[in-house]
């Protein structure tokens, strides 16, 4: 199942070239009052959507996918967790790039840990990435994004995949420089997720997916998730050893080689096998 959000307050299921509007199902979810939960209600209630899938096929209003403005498939992630250098080829390119602090590339994730991006940095594919300071170098990074489906507290690698709700494409936009990653990667619009979430029952093995990014029509990143240094189950197990993962939390799994700077006016097309393609623009 491919779950999307669109027009800011609508939820849909993508089937072929159509979006089936299931907002009426989401509106029947429990009403939350302050203080709001630390999880994403849509992801927490995904089972309700799945139970009604047959009925959705016959009765949900249908729209043309081309005509809808897509938002991030996750509206309210409690945490956006990200892996630093996690592809072997990206380690090599970082060591050759004078703009990148080399000591960042040399230690394994198990030693340096994961980092967090502000949830306020999140946008969907229809919103532009906004370059905040054009004098600083700001890079694209395409990444497989893992969406957690339920509370995961100190889970083993063997059980980790039971906690995955689904996957989408993620862009981890990054200003290069000396500040902590959590600051350089958390500017407004610096996390793009889309174009929809593919649920784990449809995409059950994330360990061998082609992943590419093109900038203005030229391919810049081209790899496969089999080259991840710390794979998806290991990332979930490691993250959950430090904090409880909640429904809707996101793990950005790291980017392969080919990162480079963005300019205002650029057009990014990212693709992950089994998920789809996402077009994103860059503005100021």
- The contact set with Mn ion (CB under 5 A) reads 141, 172, 255
Length of the chain: 284
Closest CB to Mn ion among 60 and 142? 142
CA distance 126 to 68: 9
Output the 3-class SS for 4-70: EEECCCEEEEEECCEEEECHHHHCCCCCCCCCCCCCCHHHHCHHHHHHCHHHHHHHCCEEEHHHCCE
- What is the closest distance, in whole angstroms, from the C-beta atom of residue 62 to Mn ion in the complex? 36
Closest CB to Mn ion among 240 and 253? 253
Closest CB to Mn ion among 21 and 172? 172
Closest CB to Mn ion among 172 and 249? 172
Closest CB to Mn ion among 21 and 249? 249
- What is the closest distance, in whole angstroms, from the C-beta atom of residue 204 to Mn ion in the complex? 24
- What is the closest distance, in whole angstroms, from the C-beta atom of residue 171 to Mn ion in the complex? 9
- What is the closest distance, in whole angstroms, from the C-beta atom of residue 86 to Mn ion in the complex? 8
- What is the closest distance, in whole angstroms, from the C-beta atom of residue 138 to Mn ion in the complex? 13
List phi, psi (to 5°) of 119.
-65, -20
96 Cβ neighbours under 8 A, 6+ residues apart: none
CA distance 2 to 198: 5
Among 115, 153, 146, 155, residue whose Cα is nearest residue 244: 153
């Amino acid at each position: 199942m491919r779950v999307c959000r669109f027009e800011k307050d609508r939820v849909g299921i993508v089937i072929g070239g159509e979006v089936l509007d299931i907002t009426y199902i989401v509106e029947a979810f429990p009403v939350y009052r302050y203080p709001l939960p630390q999880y994403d209600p849509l992801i927490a209630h995904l089972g309700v959507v799945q139970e009604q899938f047959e009925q959705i096929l016959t009765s949900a209003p249908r729209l043309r996918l081309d005509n809808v403005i897509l938002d991030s498939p996750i509206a309210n992630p409690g945490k956006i967790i990200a892996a630093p250098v996690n592809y072997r080829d990206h380690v090599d390119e970082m060591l050759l790039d004078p703009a990148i602090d080399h000591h960042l590339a040399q230690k394994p994730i198990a030693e340096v840990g994961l980092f967090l991006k502000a949830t306020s940095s999140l946008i969907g594919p229809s919103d532009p990435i906004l370059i905040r300071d054009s004098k600083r170098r700001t890079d694209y990074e395409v990444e497989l994004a893992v969406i957690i489906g339920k509370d995961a507290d100190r889970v083993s690698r063997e059980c980790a995949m039971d906690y995955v709700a689904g996957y989408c494409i993620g862009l981890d936009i990054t200003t290069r420089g000396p500040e902590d990653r959590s600051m350089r990667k958390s500017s407004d619009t610096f996390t793009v997720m889309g174009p929809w979430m593919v649920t784990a029952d449809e995409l059950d093995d994330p360990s061998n997916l082609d992943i590419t990014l093109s900038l203005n029509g030229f391919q810049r990143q081209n790899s496969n998730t089999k080259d991840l240094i710390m794979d998806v189950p290991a990332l979930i197990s490691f993250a959950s050893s430090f904090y409880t993962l909640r429904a809707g939390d996101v793990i950005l799994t790291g980017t392969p080689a080919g990162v480079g700077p963005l300019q205002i006016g650029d057009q990014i097309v990212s693709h992950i096998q089994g998920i789809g393609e996402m077009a994103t623009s860059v503005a100021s």
